[in-house]
Amino acid sequence: METNCPTIFTIFGATGDLTQRKLLPALYFLESQRELDGQFRILCVARRQVSEEGFRKEAAASVRKYSRIKVNDELLEKFLGRISYAPFHFSKEEDYALLKERLECMAGTHCPSIDRIFYLAIPSELIGTVVQGMEKASLTKQAQGGGYTRVVFEKPFGSDLRSAKRLNRTILSVFDESQIYRIDHYLAKELVQNLLVMRFGNSIFEPLWNKRYIDHIQITVAETIGVENRAHYYDTAGSLRDVVQNHIMQLLCLVAMASPKTLNAEDIRNEKVKILTRIARSKDMLSYSVKGQYASGEIEGKELPAYRQEKDIFRSSLTDTYFAMKLFIRNRLWRGVPFYVRTGKRLKDRATEIVLVYKQPESRLFKERGLELESNLLFIRVQPDEGITLQFNAKVPGNKVLIEPVDMDFCHECKFGPNSPESYERLLHDVMHGDQTLFTRWDEVEHSWKIIDRIAKPWKNRQPHLYEAGTWGPKEADELIGQDGRKWINPSKPGYVALLGR
Ligand SMILES: NC(=O)c1ccc[n+]([C@@H]2O[C@H](COP(=O)([O-])OP(=O)(O)OC[C@H]3O[C@@H](n4cnc5c(N)ncnc54)[C@H](OP(=O)(O)O)[C@@H]3O)[C@@H](O)[C@H]2O)c1
């Protein structure tokens, strides 16, 4: 391909929340890093009738509001100069033909084959319509003689196995898997990526990362926010589909998978799929799961309504805003080790955390003296306050032998500074470079849905257990883990937060 030919990044759904809050600020960041070459263009389309100038003003305001880095006026002008806007209706065939013309015009006559990225920042139910419209206008094929065509799909990918399969068939009838980028933005979080390095790049961790040493593992994805302005989507999805099917399953895979042969996308994905296949075969998932929904309560002194009192939510809604489950991975590494996972809205704190709880030491040395030892804990904090803490037992100074757990911390921000890439910055960069490692392959999505369907279907008409907003969830979730003689380890502020001045 000629070097002066543009890359055109087309955003469907450009007036929406995701584009304004995440995509445009992330693209601006890439501009600041000189990752967008001189010919890079951003074509924004959505239903709203707004002039190009009007759209650029909105884009500027969004970048100013949501940018993670300080906005430089000159750079912002340069960035806005790359943006065009066209009103577009997804169900109008003629709009796709116009879009094609516009792309050709932007490419110029000297560039018959350009690099094209299409980002579908649109509700999942519209994906089929858009993909078919693109096909009819011949927008889906890789260009002859060089330029690539890539397409990015947001989560959720379907709402159950059947709809996901249908969606995937539609997509695969026009795109090749190598063109497809399915987003799970959790995979681009620094601490999630760090998991591979931590596990397989350190001889002190990997040998102890298995059933011989680990008693159990907990994964918590907790939010303090409620349903906000996503009522329409959330009331049909719930926590199981919104968080467990994608983020929690991906975290679980990265914690539990065996070492991939290489760091290539396919080898990593192959190992993740092995884990998902094992879980999908479990028979006991349903009896080990808890469905919850928030009742009214209080967070940081603010009175909050119950889920069923939220705007646009059915007063008799049975949707889960909380989910907890115990599951097993029956393979050589993990047979017999329970994984307890939970997620919820309106919980006491916002945190995503993985905790490895080690078995009690076998030595009787201290027990004979009546000294109790705490289990060693390894905390991996994905957000906020990213970092890793190893909690182990140490002697308290003095003549007597007294033992207390102490922390050894790795504070990500203290070491590397506050400017680690935000998920979308990393993901957009990777799409531009054709790296699919941080995107989910179809079989990962398929097996995750198999797991979720096994729970969601029988759950559909079941009453959720209510929990007070601002707590850690329903008491039934405490009982789930409590009957095994264990308890949830609730996220707390690590010691290094003080160093960050928060
Ligand atoms: N927002 C987030 O933080 C977030 C996070 C993770 C995943 N996602 C996913 O990202 C996708 C987009 O989410 P969002 O929050 O940005 O949704 P949104 O705010 O509802 O935006 C939807 C966009 O689609 C456009 N649109 C809808 N129907 C259309 C039609 N018939 N023809 C042309 N344009 C149409 C809208 O255009 P008009 O405004 O002009 O009508 C708007 O630009 C969803 O799949 C969502 O699940 C979002």
SS3 state at 450: helix
DSSP 177-213: GGGEEEB-GGGGSHHHHHHHHHHHS-TTTGGGSSTTT
Q: How many CB atoms lie within 10 A of CB 307?
A: 28
Distance CA 130, CA 411 (A): 44
Residues 45 and 118 in one domain: yes
Ligand 1 pocket: which of 11, 19, 48, 122 to mutate (most atoms within 8 A of CB): 122
- 124 Cα nearest atom in ligand 1: 45
Q: Is residue 168 part of a domain?
A: no
**495 DSSP 8-state letter:** G
Residue nearest to atom 18 of ligand 1 (CA): 16
The whole-number pLDDT of residue 502 equals 72
Nearest CA to ligand 1 atom 39: 15
Instruction: Say if residue 149 is in the same domain as residue 216.
Output: no
| 230 and 145 share one domain | no
Residue nearest to atom 4 of ligand 1 (CA): 18
Does 236 reside within a domain? yes
- Give the pLDDT confidence score for residue 3 in this predicted structure: 60
Tell me, yes or no, whether 93 lies in a domain: yes
Q: What is the rounded end-to-end Cα distance, in angstroms, of the chain? A: 50
Tell me, what CATH number does 377's domain have?
Answer: 3.30.360.10
Q: Are residues 301 and 367 in the same domain?
A: yes
Of all protein residues, the one whose alpha carbon is nearest to atom 3 of ligand 1 is: 18
Residue 436, in any domain of the structure? no
CB 118 within 8 A of CB 151: yes
For residue 92, report the distance from its CA to the centre of ligand 1, in Å. Answer: 17
Return the residue whose CA atom lies nearest to atom 15 of ligand 1: 17
CA of 122 to the centre of ligand 1 (A): 4
Residues 20 and 83 in one domain: yes
Q: To 5 degrees, how large is the angle CA 238–CA 243–CA 248? A: 145
Residues near ligand 1 (Cβ within 6 A): 13-18, 46-48, 88-91, 121-124, 126, 154-156
247 counts as catalytic: yes
Q: 95: CA distance to ligand 1 center in Å? A: 18
Whether residue 130 is found in the same domain as residue 194: no
Looking at the fold, whether 96 and 243 belong to one and the same domain comes out as no
Burial of 110 (0-12, 13-18, 19+ CB in 10 A): exposed
Residue 46 alpha carbon, nearest atom of ligand 1: 34
Same domain, 196 and 80: no
Q: What is the pLDDT of residue 256?
A: 97
Range of the domain at 77: 7-154
Considering the candidates 185, 247, 412, 429, report the single residue annotated as catalytic.
Answer: 247
Q: How far is the CA of 126 from the centre of ligand 1 (A)?
A: 10
Instruction: State the closest ligand 1 atom to the C-alpha of 230, by its place in the atom list counted from 1.
Output: 15
Quick one: 468 and 328 in the same domain? yes
Judgement on whether residues 123 and 239 belong to the same structural domain of the protein: no
Q: Which of 133, 154, 175 is the last residue of a domain?
A: 154
Atom of ligand 1 nearest to the CA of 89: 32
Domain boundary among 106, 138, 154: 154
pLDDT at 144: 63
Would you say residue 180 lies in a domain? no
**Residue of the CA atom closest to atom 5 of ligand 1:** 18
**CA neighbours closer than 13 Å in the CB half-sphere of residue 426:** 19
Count of structural domains within the chain? 2
Q: How far does CA 441 lie from the centroid of its chain?
A: 14
Closest ligand 1 atom to 156 CA = 47
**CA 158 to centroid of ligand 1, rounded, Å:** 15
| pLDDT per 10-residue tile (average), the chain, 502 residues | 77 96 97 94 96 97 96 97 96 94 85 89 93 92 78 94 95 94 92 93 95 98 94 94 96 96 93 95 89 95 95 96 96 96 97 97 85 94 94 94 94 87 94 94 95 92 97 98 97 85 73
Pair 262, 394 in one domain? yes
Please give the distance, rounded to the nearest whole angstrom, from the Cα atom of residue 379 to the centre of ligand 1: 35
- At residue 417, the pLDDT reads 85
Evaluate whether residue 167 is within a structural domain. no
For residue 405, report the distance from its CA to the centre of ligand 1, in Å.
48
Centroid of ligand 1 to alpha carbon of 233 (angstroms): 11
Q: Which structure tokens are listed for 458?
A: 């029988």
pLDDT at 113: 75
Ligand 1 mutation pick, 19, 47, 99, 423, max ligand atoms within 8 A of CB: 47
- 141 and 98 share a domain? yes
Supply the DSSP string of 230-264, one letter for each residue: -HHHHHHHHHIIIIIIIIIHHHHHHHHPPPPSSSS
d(CA 329, CA 339) in angstroms, rounded, equals 8
3-class SS at 282? Answer: coil
What CATH code is carried by the domain that includes residue 107? Answer: 3.40.50.720
What angle (nearest 5°) sits at the alpha carbon of residue 441, between those of residues 382 and 259?
60
Within 293-393, residue ranges assigned H as helices are: none
Q: Establish if 432 belongs to a structural domain.
A: no
- Which ligand 1 atom sits nearest the alpha carbon of residue 129? 31
Examine residue 182 and state whether it is found in any structural domain, yes or no. no
- pLDDT value at position 434? 94
pLDDT of residue 108: 80
- The closest residue, in CA terms, to atom 46 on ligand 1 is 123
Task: Look at residue 2 in the predicted model and tell me its pLDDT.
Answer: 43
Of 154, 170, 199, which residue constitutes the final position of a domain? Answer: 154
Using CA positions, which residue lies closest to atom 43 of ligand 1? 13
